Structure 1
Amino acid sequence: MIFDYETFKVIWWVLVGVLFIGFALTDGFDMGVGALLRIVGKTDEERRVAINAIAPHWDGNQVWLILAAGAIFAAWPITFGAAFSMLYWGLVLTLFSLFFRPVGFDYRSKIADPRWRNTWDWGLVAAGVIPPLVIGVAFGNLFLGVSFQFDEFLRVSGQGSFFGLFHPFAVLAGLVSLLMFTMQGATYLMLRTDAAVYARSRKAAQLTGLGVFVTFALAGVWLWAGIDGYAITQAPPHDSLPNPVAKTVVPMAGAWLANYSLYPAAILAPITGLLGALGVVAAAGANRAVMGFVSSSLSLVGVIMTAGVSLFPFVMPSSLNPNHSLTIWDSASSHLTLAIMFWAAMIFVPIILFYTFWCYKQLWGKVTVQFIRDNDHSVY
């Protein structure tokens, strides 16, 4: 095979991260627009402007979320099973909130009754707020450790409840995620709208950019000063067959920051996250829509890379039995599976990127109130 087993494990850690970044950059502004719907749109026509700014792309953007979930299932099957067991109700809540998007888009404008449209508007807001919030809370719990362990047959079991996931640090991580997605939505609306919707989106971009900077910095300080990480003190070789219970892991102060000492260039990730957020504030203040969207995208990339670098090589630490924590080394699929998936990704991800860019190019342009009036029966 072109790469050895250890290298493939690292490659798939990178590829899963790329898929999450693709999800945050594209489906992120979809959800961000949904979260801002009642803020940037004060009238029905203005809300339709916001909705139709994402109308041609929202369903295609969800491909990244599906790909990320599928990649975790195929590359880290043990992690997929443990996550869907321990975070079940959070994932169900996310899934059910996403139901409001296709139904809301398709049915909202079919009846002119304000009560009907307002109801679906709030459904779209819920679909824009709940998923990023829950995803952020889930990532926050990874740093705290998830309460699970394996028995002698590698069956997962755990303790805790849905409400137990809402530790203050996890809630802060959820707020970072929600503000990130909302910032991405606001900067996207700056690109695609004008007049009153643009002005409100610009203001929202400034506020959410500042919010991302403050909350992300606060989360970093909290992680450094108040949360113990996990460190592997003994483990089988990285190219050995996966066995998630054959290592020794100990809680250790500052362990989540150890990779920044080992790989000094990694500090660029949090710096990019912080500077990108400040760039959004500056770009929105200067009426630079393109610069704002680019800065927002860079901030999202920086924040997600910071989470990945800080956790590496852990993908799901266990607070109940640290030795049973899941890492990229001991929760991966077989060498052959990772190799086949690698070539599939090399073929299909570029195709997805190509048709995505083509669709954006063909369907680009400003969405205005006049456009909605002229196409009242053919747009959302």
Structure 2
Amino acid sequence: MDWEAFYNNFRTPDFIPGYEIQNRLGGGAFGDVYKARKQSIGKPYAIKFLKIEDDSQREAVERELGQVRHFAAIDHPNLVTIEDMGTVMDVPYLIMGYAGEDTLARRLKSGPLPREQALLYFVQACRGVLALHDRRLVHFDLKPSNIFLKGEVARVGDYGLSKLMTDGRMTLSFGRGTPQYMAPEMLRTRADHRADIYSLGVILYESLTGTLPFESDAPGGLVLREEDSPPVFPDDFPARLRPAVESCLRLSPDDRFDGVGDLLSNIDQTARLGDSVKIDWVEPAGRPVTAAGAPNATLEARDEPKTPSSANEELRQTAAELARASVEVARGVWEGLRGAGEKVKKGAAEPSAKLKA
């Protein structure tokens, strides 16, 4: 592919019919993304040109593009939309909704986020990923630079590596992803939707600490984990979120949350659009939280939340008590009526004192 000729021509009018290509937004090993304006309505879009260096790459890209229709149909406020696709000068491209130029990666350059803001963006990203998983799509390249921020809204973008689950639970994934955020099983060539859950755990940890949970110990930034040891949590890491992060980052996918919905439930959030994102940062009573350097430190206690089973048992007990009370009331009413009836009968059978006189 003559990329020099391509880039010398792509700014010419109608290089992509109906669009005016403006500035470069970013890029990577799989392609470059540019901001473009749709001339008919003046609306901004993002166009990603996919890099193809040889025939094997072309075959892989064409196979991926064949799946675009699966996620182009998804309309979700926490996903960047896919508007169209095509080919120009033998280079395939995707036209996507413009989600702005601010990303979570850009925000994290200034350090960790406030916990409320980190949770807000994280929950929205989870809701977007869940929408993909519901369509049997796995992102496989979740990272802060693929989470676009516009105001208080987070959108997951860059579907260049998304994969349709066509081989049971597992799918080939070698060569996908960004090393620091890749699930360990992706290095063994096979993975499923739980690889995205691992990446979400890395993102949440980094959002709250400003650092990655595991240091790279191999060329290219790869994190080669042989032991299922949790990351080191700083003292100020929210204890309420620590178990969720630990579960996301388990070495074996079988030990992680089975789905993003389970992850959201674990941190008391929902997948429903429009639901507020709030959390009780205080740990439940009876659940000690030990921080580094404070082996017996326990957070302020609050009432233990009721589990579904305990709540159901309480309802059954209440219903039984109401039933017993109803029986007692009915018995009292019956006894009262029967007593009144006996008096009436007795009065009718015995003449009054005046009549006797």
Q: TM-score, normalised by structure 2?
A: 0.24
Higher relative contact order (CA 8 A, sep 6+): 1
More helix by share: 1
